Structure 1
């Protein structure tokens, strides 16, 4: 919408449809849409050809539209929300104005999360959960069938943790931050430890998560790669799951419920589960020794190649670039790295797509002996911090603003009652 001076509010002054449209910065047909939705009233003057509109009412609507322009349809018809959290620009992304890959390289996941929430750095911070909360959550998660997917366990864990928290409806910043610092380690503690791993319930979150994803020995380079992956994935602007979180927060759902909304969305194969598909591709390439037949089989089946391309980056995903650089320091990651490069090179013969973070995450999970679902688990744990940041931001906005209008295209009423 164009920012224009509203029409003069002189008492009793009436505006034509053209004047009203100009004052609101919209097309004339949009003016009548406002009327049909009850946002504007019109009057047909005796002997006049068209409708007229009260200038004061038009001025009030113009002011309201400008206030609500923080959530509006962009030029591409996509929802646009003002945010101070993440900027994606020219194949780079930034957390509160700071290069996100630099932050992830120099700081732990917990430190990056704190920066995202508060704009302040807390060196050496770690998140811990009270034993009583962990015990309640583990009982709930342990009651699930053995074959339950990790994301389902995380959703149940979030619900159980919410039920245990009598202060969950306190949406003040300090209360929500307290919830976040307990919820994230609770989600990790809710995952069953790997039977062959030496697991820890203290120390950096990445160390605790490692023993729940694999039985491989945790060397320093691998732990650093996992910690950096968590920090790189902490937020990525308004991804589908983050939008779901903001919608929940707009309705003033508490933080646990907002996180549950995000966890529900990431199960889609086009979002959090994408790294699992890339994991299986890399395993197939390693077994067959070359990417050529693997890529051919995928394309023949009508499937896109996972781990390649990103709608927000013309070049290589900066998260993939940062994670690949760390994985090059992990000796056992070399075969999976070579397989990933083979996938990129083979596909590039016809489609010049670059690696995205899902492929880099798959290199980490394959080389560390993790299951295909591990990438989704890492994504969910990491992104919980970003969801909390967006929920906090949304709690500071006008409630229920995330309410787009439906464009009805069905049969026009009145229709006869069905037989």
Structure 2
């Protein structure tokens, strides 16, 4: 917030004093305000703005920590997501609470703009949606969800003549049309949603032939909101590198999808789905877990390096899934797996919770991957918007050459 009246008597700094404390130019102080990193209010005596001294010092400490990061360690300033040992926050707001109360589209708007937009709905431009559907339909039947989404993004991009306009307004327009285009471009398995339907409802008919039961739709919508961003995961870093080179938002999202397709990032939900199916077929978790451990394989859906205990996203989804009668068997199997592995210090993560949703609603094994990719597109756009405000091409680490020293003979 900027230039808000205040009744407190905390120590205030002038723009020049704040710039001196931060080691930046006065113009940069106002850039911090526009990004939401500092608040300001008008000086009732002078013509400029004043700043809370404690807030300025906190920002200065953060900047010093970033500057002191070990050489070669990439540190990226962001105002989007904070992750700590027991929770995560979107722009300072508890992400689980946000996803529990607001629809995916509303959470996306919060990430993009930092402003609430109650009842937000997105619509796919007819030309973009038709092009994306044609492109997806041309793929081989065995194509995976990321294959389809990458093609859909590329097709939507070429129908948007303003894609190279990187102003905030233009990027937001592209984002609001891209999300429903991605969901609507996938092959239908069930009853189609009507025009202007929420993203969760549009996506439901692409994930399962089952009827869209309202409470199950609420779980899917919550999953999308919970997964919208998670700081600098590998795919998000790829998006920021592309945006640093001033790639348009469709190309930046394509970079994220490319990284997401790696088996160490996007495929975990598929593996957890298959494991849960096996647990249900064999009537218990112990023999299935034993086989994974005997083969030296990691049990999917467990453990997260950023959380000490259970992934808060998993806990939130388990709570919402508990009210679905059809989810009881898969939820029981997931809790049994988590109970067996707790003695190894591993706890449920969001992939296991997504697997409960996909198994209990008759979805295919790759459905979790689809949900993850569509959900995370909102976060990717938010990170691209941030990166467009930074110095271009700043994501340029130096390579540590390990080859033979020149000169070498010509081969």
Partners of 1:361 and 1:269 lie apart in 2 by 17
Shift in Å at residue 299 of structure 1?
1.7
Task: Give the TM-score normalised by the residue count of structure 2.
Answer: 0.83
Contact 2:192 2:202 in 1 (8 A): no
Aligned to 1:94: 89
Matched, 1:257 2:257: no
Aligned to 2:341: 347
SS of aligned partner of 2:206: coil
Partners of 1:5 and 1:236 lie apart in 2 by 28
Contact 1:222 1:330 in 2 (8 A): yes
Matched, 1:209 2:203: yes
Contact 1:192 1:212 in 2 (8 A): yes
SS of aligned partner of 1:87: strand
Contact 1:201 1:208 in 2 (8 A): no
Partners of 1:259 and 1:69 lie apart in 2 by 31
Aligned to 2:36: none
Contact 1:299 1:305 in 2 (8 A): yes
Aligned to 2:144: 149
Partners of 2:402 and 2:162 lie apart in 1 by 44
Partners of 1:207 and 1:189 lie apart in 2 by 10
Contact 1:70 1:82 in 2 (8 A): no
Matches within 5 A, 1:225-304: 225-304=219-298
Contact 1:210 1:218 in 2 (8 A): yes
Matched, 1:160 2:159: no
Contact 2:72 2:397 in 1 (8 A): no
Partners of 2:67 and 2:174 lie apart in 1 by 31
Shift in Å at residue 141 of structure 1?
1.1
Shift in Å at residue 163 of structure 1?
0.9
Contact 2:127 2:159 in 1 (8 A): no
* 1:69-92 Cα distance to aligned partner (Å, 9 max, x none): 898783596421110000002311
Could you list the runs of 5+ residues in structure 1 that have no partner in the other structure? 7-67
Task: Give the TM-score normalised by the residue count of structure 1.
Answer: 0.81
Q: Taking structure 1 as reference, are residues 282 and 201 closer, same or farther at Cα in structure 2, changes over 3 Å only?
A: farther
Matched, 1:170 2:165: yes
Q: How many residues of Structure 1 are paired with residues of Structure 2 in the alignment? A: 354
Contact 1:197 1:212 in 2 (8 A): no
Aligned to 2:134: 139
Matched, 1:385 2:347: no
Query: If you compute each CA radius of gyration, which structure gives the higher value, 1 or 2?
Result: 1
Contact 1:276 1:375 in 2 (8 A): yes
Shift in Å at residue 202 of structure 1?
2.7
Contact 1:72 1:79 in 2 (8 A): no
Q: Which moved more, 1:198-207 or 1:138-147?
A: 198-207
